[in-house]
């Protein structure tokens, strides 16, 4: 295709994909099927591969995330990112309004009330309409440059939609990155299935995700954005009011808060705050309060700010709901990994929007630290998505009948002595049942194997697994493949149809991708993400089983703890026997996603000479060189007619000029990444 046609088609595709992204991720109203979207996307990638000069940072292809960074750079905010004064008291809201009125004597005031989104504050800088830099708040003056991570958020526009407005030369949008509650619950379920610590709440998981140095991992996290403010603006007039500001941001393609109220007096403000409290649990994000803002930006300007916070806004925080209830008992749950977790069994109590009858007590130390005794009146707290917690004991209500809890040192399920282990995070300590045959662990391993995110065997939930184990039909996952129809159908509440469905699911699972099998084995610390890395790195399960910890630790995203855990798992004779039974049962051990590291190089750089110049945004010279060489290319230090590409970064000098004179194609890092494909 001639370059002009390619350019035109590329622009059309990019525009169309942007529109569909906006419809899906911002308006939550999809306008196209997944398959049709994929076709457009594929066409765009093909065009970019044929014409790398078409790859611009705002191309929809640039969201996927590139190679990991070694550290974040820092960004100085052109307008400081301040915090807000906050209060829990309605009286202080009234006092705040009076204070503002005193600063603006005789003026009429209007207010907006917005949800206070409990996420991570970010600033997003657009230059000539294109997303250029994104950063965290940091200390308010300087934050971390997390541009590559933010690019992966599908609700973040890579280019502003201008409509009838002109595109600002500079626009900084300010808002919050959050993890939608549904995504948070799923992520935590997956982490628990992998024997990993769940995140405490959505805010922590959003913050933890944005801190990842590998944008590919960030791309897998369900993060979303909401914006509510502006930093620097150049080239267009600033809006007159908060309402106009939010409208403008919406027109540019940003997601803004779903409800914003207007108020004229302290009474109206407080009514809005109450109304928000009534509906905030239906939002996609946790809200920990309301933000009250003076609507007029000109009035804000005149009021100014203190050293830390603006004088024109205030946050009203909703108190985390607490309730007192009686601790009836402490029970011990034994998980798939054998961890003994104490659970508080409570007199049911309504708190934070739901009835709570159980709360985790985490570990032995937590019980001792808070001096929690059976029979105590305890204070339960539940805020947003936070797992209900026992905050403290009302010791003054003790009557003397409360009993100290003696943490069992034997497994309550099988009676095997448990051993005490430090957690990976170094906090607290876990008692673990070491008996591989503990019924709780057997059930846990089977449920995990059947789980949707692992071997995906429908019907293999808690109830059926318990029946199968109790009936003595199944001891480990390989037994599932020997089950007979009549054995399953004879189980209570089963019947032939359900038995057939379940056994069909079992049969189909023989052919699942290797990563599902690896994940399904339930190796400590091996989540679905790590399992995918392992399946990409080894041609089959046998090669993985032979790998040593140091070899494993060299893999991207596999640390020493994971490497040791994998080595130990395959080193255990009982596990090796299981693997052999799975082989006999006919499971597929070959990896369909294996990427041979030393296979004959393929890809765009075979036989090509590339010259590096200047500083690239994220890749060091060594990283870029190694990558090019892995893909069969050669790196040379001087530009000539024989040079195929020049990979140029900031402050590129004479080499870039020479390339331009000789007509050698010039790639920036984004174009290079697209050409190179996924890092190998």
- Contacting positions for ligand IVH (CB under 6 A): 82-84, 114, 116-117, 121, 176, 228-229, 257, 291, 310, 313, 315
**Which of 174/362 has CB closer to ligand IVH?**
174
Residue 545: CB minimum distance to ligand IVH, A: 48
Residue 205: CB minimum distance to ligand IVH, A: 17
| All residues at 6 or more sequence positions from 533 whose CB lies less than 8 Å from its CB, including other chains | 555, 556, 557, 558
Read off the tokens for 364.
Answer: 């032995």
Read off the tokens for 522.
Answer: 């339930």
> In this structure, are residues 209 and 223 in contact, taking their beta carbons and an 8 Å threshold?
yes
**Which of 228/515 has CB closer to ligand IVH?**
228
> In this structure, are residues 151 and 132 in contact, taking their beta carbons and an 8 Å threshold?
no
DSSP helix/strand/coil, 637:
coil
Give the single-character DSSP code of 320.
Answer: P
The torsion angles phi and psi of 311, rounded to 5 degrees, stand at -85, -10
Q: Which residues pair with 333 in a beta bridge?
A: 341
Residue 618: CB minimum distance to ligand IVH, A: 26
DSSP helix/strand/coil, 252:
helix
Residue 232: CB minimum distance to ligand IVH, A: 14
Residue 84: CB minimum distance to ligand IVH, A: 4
> In this structure, are residues 281 and 353 in contact, taking their beta carbons and an 8 Å threshold?
yes
Read off the tokens for 171.
Answer: 């626009």
The torsion angles phi and psi of 473, rounded to 5 degrees, stand at -85, -25
Q: What is the dihedral of CA 579, 580, 581, 583, to 10 degrees?
A: 90
**Which of 291/454 has CB closer to ligand IVH?**
291
Give the single-character DSSP code of 478.
Answer: G
Active-site hit among 102, 116, 211, 484: 116
Residue 215: CB minimum distance to ligand IVH, A: 23
Strands annotated E in 9-56: none
User: Of 509, 522, 516, 678, nearest to 591 (Cα)?
Assistant: 516
Q: Which residues pair with 382 in a beta bridge?
A: 321
| All residues at 6 or more sequence positions from 414 whose CB lies less than 8 Å from its CB, including other chains | 433, 435, 437, 438, 439, 440
Strands annotated E in 267-352: 287-294, 313-317, 321-334, 339-351
**Which of 178/645 has CB closer to ligand IVH?**
178
Which single residue is written with the structure tokens 């919050």? 176
Residue 131: CB minimum distance to ligand IVH, A: 19
* Nearest residue relative to ligand IVH (C-beta): 121
Give the β-pairing of 130-136 and 224-234. Answer: unpaired
User: How far is residue 300's CA from residue 309's CA, in Å, rounded to a whole number?
Assistant: 12
Which single residue is written with the structure tokens 């994940």? 519
User: How far is residue 389's CA from residue 330's CA, in Å, rounded to a whole number?
Assistant: 14
User: How far is residue 368's CA from residue 409's CA, in Å, rounded to a whole number?
Assistant: 15
Three-point CA angle 96, 99, 105, nearest 5°: 140
Three-point CA angle 348, 351, 355, nearest 5°: 40
**Which of 313/664 has CB closer to ligand IVH?**
313
| All residues at 6 or more sequence positions from 34 whose CB lies less than 8 Å from its CB, including other chains | none
User: How far is residue 147's CA from residue 143's CA, in Å, rounded to a whole number?
Assistant: 11
Q: How many CB atoms within 10 Å of residue 105?
A: 6
Which single residue is written with the structure tokens 């032939």? 496
**Which of 187/246 has CB closer to ligand IVH?**
246
Q: Which residues pair with 24 in a beta bridge?
A: none
> In this structure, are residues 600 and 630 in contact, taking their beta carbons and an 8 Å threshold?
no
Which segments of 175-279 does DSSP mark as H helices, in order? 181-193, 202-210, 215-220, 242-252, 266-279
> In this structure, are residues 208 and 219 in contact, taking their beta carbons and an 8 Å threshold?
no
Residue 276: CB minimum distance to ligand IVH, A: 11
User: Of 378, 379, 328, 382, nearest to 355 (Cα)?
Assistant: 382
User: Of 12, 79, 74, 73, nearest to 40 (Cα)?
Assistant: 12
| All residues at 6 or more sequence positions from 162 whose CB lies less than 8 Å from its CB, including other chains | 129, 252
Cα of first residue to Cα of last residue in the chain, in angstroms, is 30
Q: Is 116 a catalytic residue?
A: yes
Active site residues: 116
């Amino acid at each position: 295709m001639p370059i002009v046609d390619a350019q035109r088609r590329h622009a059309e595709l990019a525009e169309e994909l942007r529109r569909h992204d906006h419809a899906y991720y911002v308006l939550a109203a999809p306008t196209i099927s997944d398959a049709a979207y994929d076709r457009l996307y594929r066409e765009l990638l093909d065009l970019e591969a044929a014409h790398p000069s078409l790859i611009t940072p705002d191309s929809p292809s640039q969201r996927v995330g590139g190679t990991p960074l070694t550290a974040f750079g820092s960004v100085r905010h052109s307008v400081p990112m301040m915090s807000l004064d906050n209060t829990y008291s309605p009286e202080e809201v009234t006092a705040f309004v009076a204070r503002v009125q005193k600063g603006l004597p005789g003026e009429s005031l209007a207010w907006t009330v917005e949800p206070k989104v409990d996420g991570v504050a970010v600033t997003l800088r657009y230059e000539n309409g294109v997303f250029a830099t994104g950063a965290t708040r940091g200390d308010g003056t300087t934050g971390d440059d997390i541009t590559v991570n933010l690019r992966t958020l599908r609700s973040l526009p890579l280019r502003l939609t201008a409509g009838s407005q002109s595109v600002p030369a500079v626009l900084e949008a300010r808002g919050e990155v959050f993890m939608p509650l549904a995504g948070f619950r799923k992520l935590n379920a997956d982490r628990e299935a992998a024997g990993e610590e769940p995140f405490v709440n959505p805010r922590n998981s959003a913050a933890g995700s944005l801190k990842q140095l590998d944008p590919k991992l960030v791309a897998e996290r369900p993060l979303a954005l909401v914006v509510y403010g502006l930093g620097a603006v150049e080239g267009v007039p600033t809006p007159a009011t908060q309402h106009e500001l939010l409208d403008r941001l919406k027109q540019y393609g940003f997601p803004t808060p779903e409800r914003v109220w207007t108020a004229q007096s302290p009474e109206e403000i407080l009514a809005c705050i109450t109304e928000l409290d009534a509906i905030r649990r239906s939002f996609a994000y946790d809200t920990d309060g309301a933000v009250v803002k003076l609507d007029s930006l000109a009035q804000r300007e005149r009021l100014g700010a203190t050293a830390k916070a603006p004088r024109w806004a205030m946050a009203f925080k909703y108190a985390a709901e607490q309730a007192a209830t009686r601790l009836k008992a402490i029970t011990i749950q034994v998980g798939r990994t054998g961890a003994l977790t104490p659970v508080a069994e409570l007199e049911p109590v309504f708190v934070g929007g739901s009835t709570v009858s159980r709360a985790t007590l985490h570990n032995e130390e937590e019980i001792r630290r808070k001096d929690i005794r059976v029979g105590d009146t305890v204070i339960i707290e539940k805020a947003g998505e936070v797992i209900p917690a026992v905050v403290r004991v009302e010791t003054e209500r003790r009557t003397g009948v409360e009993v100290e809890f003696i943490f069992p040192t034997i497994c309550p399920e099988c009676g095997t002595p448990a051993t005490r282990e430090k957690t990976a995070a170094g906090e607290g300590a876990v008692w673990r049942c070491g008996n591989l045959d503990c019924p709780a662990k057997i059930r846990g391993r089977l449920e995990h194997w059947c789980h949707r995110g692992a071997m995906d065997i429908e019907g293999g939930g808690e109830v059926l697994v318990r029946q199968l184990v109790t009936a003595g039909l199944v001891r480990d996952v390989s037994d599932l493949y020997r089950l007979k129809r009549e054995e399953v159908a004879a189980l209570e509440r089963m019947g032939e149809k359900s038995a057939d469905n379940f056994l069909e699911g079992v049969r189909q699972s023989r052919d699942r991708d290797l990563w599902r099998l690896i994940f399904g084995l339930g190796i400590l610390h091996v989540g679905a993400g790590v399992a995918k890395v392992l399946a990409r790195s080894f041609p089959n399960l046998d090669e993985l089983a032979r790998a040593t910890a140091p070899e494993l630790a060299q893999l991207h995203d596999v640390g020493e703890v994971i490497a040791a855990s994998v080595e130990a798992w395959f080193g255990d004779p009982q596990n090796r026997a299981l693997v052999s039974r799975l082989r006999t049962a006919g499971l597929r051990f070959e990896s369909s996603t294996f990427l041979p590291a030393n296979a004959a190089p393929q890809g765009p750089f075979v036989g090509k000479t590339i010259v590096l110049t200047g500083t690239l945004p994220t890749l060091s010279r060594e990283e870029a060189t190694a990558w090019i060489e892995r893909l069969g290319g050669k790196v040379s230090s001087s530009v000539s007619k024989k040079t195929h590409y020049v990979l140029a970064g900031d402050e590129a000098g004479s080499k870039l000029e020479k390339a331009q004179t000789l007509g050698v194609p010039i790639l920036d890092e984004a174009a290079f990444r697209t050409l190179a494909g996924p890092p190998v």
